[in-house]
């Protein structure tokens, strides 16, 4: 029997559950400041194994979450200094002998299933051991990433190129499992981990084979196994035969969710969802997105994967991989041809002069001094739509705007004390929210929580839930100062607030505390969380730009100042670049790691009011005119190229 012992840790962070050495001022992992009452004592922690040493070989230093069959912790090896995922399974958790026997059976099944797989797209299992008679530990790879569900919570939906790549990799891993007689039976976004690799893009891995079905050894199980939103028709019937095509269906549900932002069937009642899987018409992705956002062949594949009769689906995941491979190649070819020939619909021709060594007038730099007509436009118009009828009358009095991830939607505030959510690349119906207090000069949206925030001259931040378009908003915090800028972090738990008096504030909804991170000499009209860094990006009316360390509240870098006041900003998803629209209409893209590298683009013709980077690295801009909303795009490769060529863009 293995042992459980105390480690050298004594306290932990109540926000992210990471164990802490000594008594730091801030948590090094989530950057939360030390609570006024001090860090939490591990001796009173509700996480049974947090801070414990298991078998003398693994020190448990963070609670990760609950899986299908047990709680998952992060542990560091004492002999091999690297992190592992430790799934701790207490077979007596339900207090019933028959369930305890079932838990032991499923535990043994999961270890056997996953230890037989050697596919790079399946989480590796290294060993299992007991720490008590009824408590087992499974040692697995610890992946520094997020689940696909967390990614979707943050972005709403994925661009189709990224969606097919993630699902193709998951299908690759499933195919090997199926060849070895293992059916997963619970394919869902929560069971796909996604890492962002430095050079090769996304990398997906399947986890949690806790309810796997072994074809050769287990012919029958009792009761429903799976997650209703992604369950196959066979799983939803009492006598359904389960084979590899059941996982194909569930993976089709995942692909549908990635492309549209929601599963194919939804209801508050699980039984209604299961009935829909059995009887309802197979939906099309084009019921929820426009035909310009994905090829017809992808919709055909999704509908095949979601066929009610297993005979009508791809017969194995290998067929899915081949179909997605072919679709990806064909799509890249057709997109390349279209880019060579396309002229943006509704784009107004703009006369520009040849760029100087420090400014790009909306054009690709090429060779300095080359004739303007020989170059391609950097700023592309990709969508132009009429303002929805309900906000046309308020168009001239729009006071604030924000752009959702990838430019899918916009949030707009007006002088009528209303906030509107408008679809740009989706068929999202315009949603309007009332009850705002005074004029709002800053708005933000949390895709992960489905919430819209606004603040302004009333000095308060208000919050609306996207599920409730009636009723008054909830007052989040009163900062006692006019609010000029807002941002919310990826988890939807912390607000960054820029004020008229030059204060950069951080509000944490978990502790309901507000701290001042920085004091500037002029109003802060742009404040943004810098992803993956624990930093804030701030820009002031007088043009100063800098980055701040949240935990220490210290200034890190002073960037090249703007020539006029900032009116919109955003930060790249990797935390390496920021983009700012100036009052003059110029667009500035700056490196956050090399203050000497920046790109200036003349974009006044686009009338940009909000910016957002997409998962693909492209920069999206929202333009607002008298009666239209326009979505503009600057491709990632153009930004990277010109920032690298500092000699052509540095003034």
CB 84 within 8 A of CB 142: yes
Query: Rounded mean pLDDT of 159-176?
Result: 91
How far apart are alpha carbons 260 and 294 in whole angstroms? 10
Give how far the C-alpha of residue 237 lies from the chain's centroid of Cα atoms, to the nearest Å.
34
Q: What is the pLDDT of residues 325-356, one digit of tens each?
A: 888 655 544 444 433 333 333 333 333 333 33
What pLDDT is recorded for position 24? 87
pLDDT band for position 362 (cuts 50, 70, 90): very low
What pLDDT is recorded for position 37? 85
Q: Which residue has the higher pLDDT, 336 or 497?
A: 497
Phi, psi of 410 (to 5 degrees): -130, 150
pLDDT at 306 over 90: yes
CATH 3.30.200.20 fits 9-141, yes or no: yes
Residue that has been written with the tokens 């997963």 in this structure: 184
How far apart are alpha carbons 22 and 20 in whole angstroms? 6
- Which burial class, exposed, middle or buried, applies to 4 when counting CB atoms under 10 A from its CB (0-12, 13-18, 19+)? middle
How far apart are alpha carbons 349 and 439 in whole angstroms? 35
- Concatenating the DSSP letter of every residue in 137-191 gives EEEEEPPSSEEHHHHHHHHSS--HHHHHHHHHHHHHHHHHHHHTTEE----SGGG
Is residue 186 annotated as part of the catalytic site, yes or no? yes
pLDDT band for position 284 (cuts 50, 70, 90): very high
pLDDT at 196 over 50: yes
Helix (H) or strand (E) holding 514: strand 513-519
Q: What is the pLDDT of residues 107-137, one digit of tens each?
A: 777 677 677 777 889 888 888 888 887 788 8
Domain ranges of the chain: 9-141, 146-326, 379-648
How far apart are alpha carbons 538 and 554 in whole angstroms? 13
What pLDDT is recorded for position 223? 46
What pLDDT is recorded for position 199? 53
Q: What is the pLDDT of residues 615-642, one digit of tens each?
A: 778 899 999 876 788 888 887 766 666 5
What pLDDT is recorded for position 581? 93
Helix (H) or strand (E) holding 648: helix 646-649
Q: What is the pLDDT of residues 441-477, one digit of tens each?
A: 999 998 878 889 999 988 999 998 876 655 678 899 9
Q: Report the top-level CATH class of 146-326.
A: mainly alpha
- Bridge partners of 443, per DSSP, are 454
What pLDDT is recorded for position 157? 87
What pLDDT is recorded for position 471? 61
87 is in an annotated binding site: yes
Alpha helices in 310-460 (DSSP H): 317-341, 389-392
What pLDDT is recorded for position 343? 33
Q: Domain 379-648 sits in which CATH superfamily?
A: YVTN repeat-like/Quinoprotein amine dehydrogenase (2.130.10.10)
Q: Which among 495, 561, 501, 496 is positioned nearest to 527, based on CA atoms?
A: 496
pLDDT at 568 over 70: yes
pLDDT at 320 over 80: yes
What pTM value is reported for the model? 0.55
Q: Kindly give, in sequence order, each residue whose CB lies less than 8 Å from that of residue 352, ignoring residues fewer than 6 positions away.
A: 361, 362, 363, 372, 602
Order of strands across the sheet with 608-613?
379-386, 628-634, 619-624, 608-613
Angle between helices 317-341 and 160-179 (to 10 degrees): 160
What pLDDT is recorded for position 219? 34
Alpha helices in 88-139 (DSSP H): 97-115
Q: 3-state class of 205 per DSSP? A: strand
pLDDT at 59 over 80: yes
Residue that has been written with the tokens 């979450």 in this structure: 65
- Range in 100-104, 388-392, 432-436 the model is least confident about: 388-392
pLDDT at 168 over 90: yes
CB 530 within 8 A of CB 592: yes
What pLDDT is recorded for position 621? 92
CB 504 within 8 A of CB 520: yes
Order of strands across the sheet with 503-508?
483-488, 494-499, 503-508, 513-519
Phi, psi of 438 (to 5 degrees): 75, -170
Query: Rounded mean pLDDT of 20-33?
Result: 85
Active-site residue identified among 71, 90, 153, 186: 186
Query: Rounded mean pLDDT of 252-265?
Result: 94
Query: Rounded mean pLDDT of 563-574?
Result: 90
pLDDT at 32 over 90: no
Residue that has been written with the tokens 């929805």 in this structure: 388
What pLDDT is recorded for position 373? 31
Q: Which residue has the higher pLDDT, 224 or 149?
A: 149
Phi, psi of 40 (to 5 degrees): -75, 140
Query: Rounded mean pLDDT of 186-191?
Result: 90
What pLDDT is recorded for position 550? 92
What pLDDT is recorded for position 535? 93
- Range in 98-107, 213-222, 500-509 the model is least confident about: 213-222
pLDDT band for position 370 (cuts 50, 70, 90): very low
How far apart are alpha carbons 394 and 434 in whole angstroms? 14
CB 603 within 8 A of CB 350: no
Cα dihedral sign, 353-357-359-360: positive
How far apart are alpha carbons 215 and 267 in whole angstroms? 32
State percent of the chain over pLDDT 70. Answer: 81
Q: Which residue has the higher pLDDT, 233 or 22?
A: 233
- The number of C-alpha atoms within 13 Å of 20 and in the hemisphere containing its C-beta is 25
Token digits of residue 643: 């920032």
Q: What is the pLDDT of residues 205-217, one digit of tens each?
A: 998 765 445 444 4
Query: Rounded mean pLDDT of 393-405?
Result: 75
- Which burial class, exposed, middle or buried, applies to 414 when counting CB atoms under 10 A from its CB (0-12, 13-18, 19+)? buried
Q: Which among 465, 479, 544 is positioned nearest to 514, based on CA atoms?
A: 479
- Range in 267-281, 381-395, 401-415, 425-439 the model is least confident about: 381-395
What pLDDT is recorded for position 392? 58
**Cα separation of the two ends of the chain:** 68
What pLDDT is recorded for position 330? 56
């Amino acid at each position: 029997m293995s042992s459980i012992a105390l480690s050298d840790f004594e306290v932990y962070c109540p926000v992210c559950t990471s164990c802490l050495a000594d008594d730091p001022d801030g948590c090094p992992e989530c950057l939360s400041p030390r609570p006024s009452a001090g860090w939490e004592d591990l001796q009173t922690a509700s996480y049974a194994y947090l801070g414990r040493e298991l078998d003398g070989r693994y020190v448990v230093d963070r609670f990760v979450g609950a899986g299908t069959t047990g709680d998952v912790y992060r542990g560091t090896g004492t002999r091999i200094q690297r992190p592992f995922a430790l799934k701790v399974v207490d077979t007596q958790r339900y207090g019933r002998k028959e369930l305890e026997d079932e838990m032991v059976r499923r535990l043994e099944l999961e270890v056997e299933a996953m230890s037989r797989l050697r596919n790079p797209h399946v989480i590796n299992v290294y060993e299992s051991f007991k720490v008590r008679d009824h408590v087992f530990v499974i040692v697995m790879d610890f992946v520094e990433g997020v689940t696909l569900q967390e990614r979707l919570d943050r972005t709403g939906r994925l661009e189709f190129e990224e969606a097919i790549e993630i699902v193709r990799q998951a299908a690759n891993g499933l195919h090997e499992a199926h060849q070895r007689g293992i059916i997963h039976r619970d394919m869902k976004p929560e069971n796909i981990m996604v890492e962002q690799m430095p050079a090769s893009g996304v990398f997906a891995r399947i986890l949690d084979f806790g309810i796997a079905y072994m074809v050769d050894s287990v012919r029958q199980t009792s009761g429903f196994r799976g997650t209703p939103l992604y369950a196959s028709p066979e799983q939803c019937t009492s006598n359904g035969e389960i084979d590899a095509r059941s996982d194909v269906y569930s993976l089709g549900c995942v692909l549908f969710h990635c492309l549209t932002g929601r599963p194919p069937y939804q209801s508050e009642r699980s039984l209604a969802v299961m009935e829909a899987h059995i009887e309802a018409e197979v939906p099309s992705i084009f019921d929820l997105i426009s035909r310009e956002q994905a090829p017809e062949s992808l919709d055909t594949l999704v509908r095949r994967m979601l066929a009610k009769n297993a005979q009508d689906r791809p017969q194995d995941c290998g067929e899915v991989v081949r179909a997605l491979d072919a679709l990806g190649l064909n799509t890249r070819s057709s997109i390349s041809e279209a880019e060579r020939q396309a002229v943006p619909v509704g784009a107004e021709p703009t006369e520009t002069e040849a760029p100087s060594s420090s400014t790009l007038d909306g054009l690709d730099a090429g060779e300095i001094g080359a004739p303007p007509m020989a170059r391609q436009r950097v700023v592309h118009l990709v969508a132009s739509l009429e303002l929805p009828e309900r906000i046309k009358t308020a168009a001239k009095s729009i006071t604030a705007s924000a752009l959702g991830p990838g430019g899918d939607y916009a949030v707009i505030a007006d002088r009528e004390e209303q906030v509107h959510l408008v679809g740009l690349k989706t068929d999202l119906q315009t949603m309007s929210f009332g009850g705002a207090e005074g004029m709002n000069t800053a708005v933000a949206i949390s895709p992960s929580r489905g919430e819209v925030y606004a603040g302004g001259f009333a000095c308060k931040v208000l919050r609306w839930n996207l599920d409730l378009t009636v009723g008054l908003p909830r007052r989040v915090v009163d900062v006692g100062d006019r609010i000029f800028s807002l941002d919310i972090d990826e988890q939807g738990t912390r607000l960054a607030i820029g004020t008229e008096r030059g204060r950069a504030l951080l509000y944490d909804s978990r502790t309901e505390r507000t701290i001042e991170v920085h004091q500037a000499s002029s109003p802060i009209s742009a404040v943004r969380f810098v992803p993956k860094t624990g930093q804030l990006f701030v820009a002031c009316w007088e043009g100063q730009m800098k980055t701040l360390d949240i935990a220490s509240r210290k200034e890190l870098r002073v960037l090249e100042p703007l020539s006029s006041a900032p009116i919109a900003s955003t930060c790249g998803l990797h935390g390496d670049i920021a983009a700012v629209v100036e009052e003059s209409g110029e667009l500035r893209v700056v490196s956050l790691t090399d203050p000497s590298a920046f790109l200036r683009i003349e974009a006044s013709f686009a009338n940009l009011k909000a910016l957002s980077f997409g998962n693909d690295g492209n920069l999206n801009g929202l333009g607002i005119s008298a009666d239209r909303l326009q979505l503009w795009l600057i491709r990632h490769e153009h930004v990277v190229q010109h920032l690298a060529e500092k000699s052509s863009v540095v003034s």
